[in-house]
């Protein structure tokens, strides 16, 4: 997505399947993942076709768990000219891990992705943007693991994540480590989420487009947009027994997502 000749926005995809989202963790045991219908391969293939048709490249933050089971898919991402990055191995929130466990997760994922793809992995995005004020030690772990950038700190107020006082645009956060936050629009003395995901499905399309263009024009800065492959999958199995808020956030406007993209 491009707004002006001088600014190129970043399109990013978090490669995980519907049953791996953090909101479903209380309802789907991690040990049951292998027994679930995995739909990520077909959904990523659709995304790759869309990108090729529109001559667009993206960054794919990919789970090591997915890469281990679908190595050919990882290679197709790289062969398509896209950037391969890490989403960790098992989609565990950083806030739920010790520093040692987190380091093991990100080191394992990086090594696995690089071995499969035959290319260096420089970037990392925390599941559910779960790096914040309470666990900034994670940045030191990323630095030690050899990552060059992170896109893990969302500068908004949210009930599950966010660090509203964090810088809104890319900045060096550790020696040799850049933080590239998801995009927000500054309005009404607060940061409004403007970078995709569930908000892109919830907001009218025209509003999302306007917010991204405002960031380009008002801040003279590129935007970072993200989504998940399951967000365009109307045929995904419905998870039973979940609360209203979780059900609404996960399923709202999934049928409109592909057209909007």
> DSSP readout, 175-214?
TTEEE-PPPEEEETTEEEE-SBTHHHHHS-HHHHHHHHHH
- 216, pLDDT greater than 60: yes
91 three-class SS:
coil
What does the alpha-carbon distance between residue 193 and residue 181 come to, in Å, rounded to a whole number?
A: 11
pTM over 0.85: yes
Cα-Cα-Cα-Cα dihedral sign, residues 139, 80, 209, 3: positive
81 three-class SS:
coil
| Residues 175-206: tens digit of each pLDDT | 999 999 999 999 989 999 999 999 999 999 99
Q: Are 249 and 199 in contact (CB under 8 A)?
A: no
| Residues 124-144: tens digit of each pLDDT | 999 999 999 999 999 999 999
154-180 average pLDDT score? 91
- 5, pLDDT greater than 80: no
Task: Report the side by side order of strands in the sheet with 10-15.
Answer: 171-174, 177-179, 149-150, 123-124, 83-86, 59-62, 10-15, 224-227
Using CA atoms of 52, 53, 59, 64 in order, give the dihedral in degrees to the nearest 10: -60
What does the alpha-carbon distance between residue 104 and residue 125 come to, in Å, rounded to a whole number?
A: 15
pLDDT value of position 245 = 92
pLDDT value of position 113 = 98
Q: Point out the least confidently predicted range of 2-6, 123-127, 240-244.
A: 2-6
- 161, pLDDT greater than 90: no
**Helix 99-117 vs helix 137-145: angle between axes, to the nearest 10 degrees?**
30
């Amino acid at each position: 997505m491009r707004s002006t000749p001088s600014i190129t926005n970043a399109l990013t995809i978090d490669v995980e399947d519907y049953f791996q989202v953090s909101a479903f963790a209380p309802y789907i045991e991690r040990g049951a993942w292998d027994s679930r219908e995995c739909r990520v391969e077909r959904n990523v293939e659709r995304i790759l076709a869309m990108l090729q048709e529109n001559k667009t490249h993206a960054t794919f933050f990919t789970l090591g768990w997915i890469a281990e089971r679908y190595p050919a898919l990882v290679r197709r991402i790289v062969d398509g000219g896209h950037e391969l990055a890490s989403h960790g191995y098992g989609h565990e929130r950083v806030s739920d891990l010790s520093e040692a466990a987190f380091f093991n997760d990100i080191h394992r994922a990086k090594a696995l992705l690089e071995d499969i793809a035959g290319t260096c992995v420089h970037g990392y995005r925390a599941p559910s943007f779960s790096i914040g004020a309470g666990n900034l030690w994670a940045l030191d772990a990323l630095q030690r693991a050899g990552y060059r950038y992170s896109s893990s700190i969302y500068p908004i107020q949210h009930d599950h994540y966010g660090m509203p006082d964090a810088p809104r645009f890319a900045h060096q956060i550790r020696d040799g480590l850049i933080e590239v936050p998801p995009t927000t629009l500054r309005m009404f003395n607060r940061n409004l989420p403007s970078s995709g995901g569930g908000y892109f499905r919830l907001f009218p399309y025209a509003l999302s487009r306007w917010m991204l263009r405002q960031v380009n024009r008002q801040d003279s800065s590129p935007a970072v947009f993200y989504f998940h492959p399951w967000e365009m999958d109307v045929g995904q199995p419905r998870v039973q027994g979940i609360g209203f808020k979780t059900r609404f956030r996960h399923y709202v406007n999934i049928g409109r997502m592909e057209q909007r993209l």
